[in-house]
Amino acid sequence: KGCAEISIRDIDQIANSSFPLCMRHLFEKLREDHHLKHGGRMQLGLFLKGVDLKLDDALAFWKAEFSQKVGAERFEKEYAYSIRHNYGKEGKRTDYTPYSCQKIISSTPGVGDHHGCPYRHFSEENLRTALGKMGVSGRTAEEVMDKVRNRHYQLACTLTFEAIHGSSCDAGINHPNQYFSDSQKILQS
Ligand code: SF4
């Protein structure tokens, strides 16, 4: 595959290989609960738009999950609008940009929210578990936790990226969509 465009057919595989932990978590929760609260829908939705998931695919993707929870009719009524809105197809037609790490790290997820940056917002135990699921353990996991304790969340994410890809990321991670495109570049080379 030469281009960045992704389709919903291989989104699970791509999420597993190239989504940063913040998006992986939202993606898993959406698959599990068939629902995400507003903050999560915005964070994941704009990220997906940034990885070039087309509007029609995005609508189909969200609908497949949400209709299992709230029904197709309620999805159309209450949620489809805001997805089109994110793509600049409703309201003021602003083309909304995906959130940067800085914005995500400084967000304040409440109870039942799954947005935010796991390096900043997860408990130590949950973060260790999540890292383990990504295949990051032992000394590398300790190095990541060390960055987290020093509040260097983006460096923690960069270390995770490097461990998973077996390749250095000299620029460091500063945007989830940069994480994605750097990952795809490595995996496709
Ligand atoms: Fe996501 Fe950025 Fe946090 Fe990594 S550092 S998990 S890309 S918000």
Write the DSSP string, 106-122: T----TT---S-HHHHS
- Per the CB < 8 A criterion, the answer to whether 161 and 87 are in contact is no
Ligand 1 centroid to residue 74 C-alpha, Å: 32
Q: Give per-residue pLDDT as tens, 93-124.
A: 666 899 999 999 999 999 999 999 999 999 99
Alpha-carbon distance 160 to 187, whole Å?
Answer: 15
Ligand 1 probe mutation, 46, 48, 119, most atoms within 8 A of CB: 119
Q: Name the residue with tokens 């990952």.
A: 183
Q: Is residue 94 part of a domain?
A: no
Q: Give per-residue pLDDT as tens, 61-92.
A: 999 999 999 999 999 999 999 999 999 887 77
Please name the amino acid found at residue 71: G
Ligand 1 probe mutation, 47, 117, 121, 165, most atoms within 8 A of CB: 117
Which 3 state secondary structure label does DSSP give 157? Answer: helix
Ligand 1 centroid to residue 32 C-alpha, Å: 21
63 and 110 co-located in one domain: no
Q: Is residue 2 part of a domain?
A: no
ipTM score assigned to the predicted complex? 0.99
Range of the domain at 132: 101-188
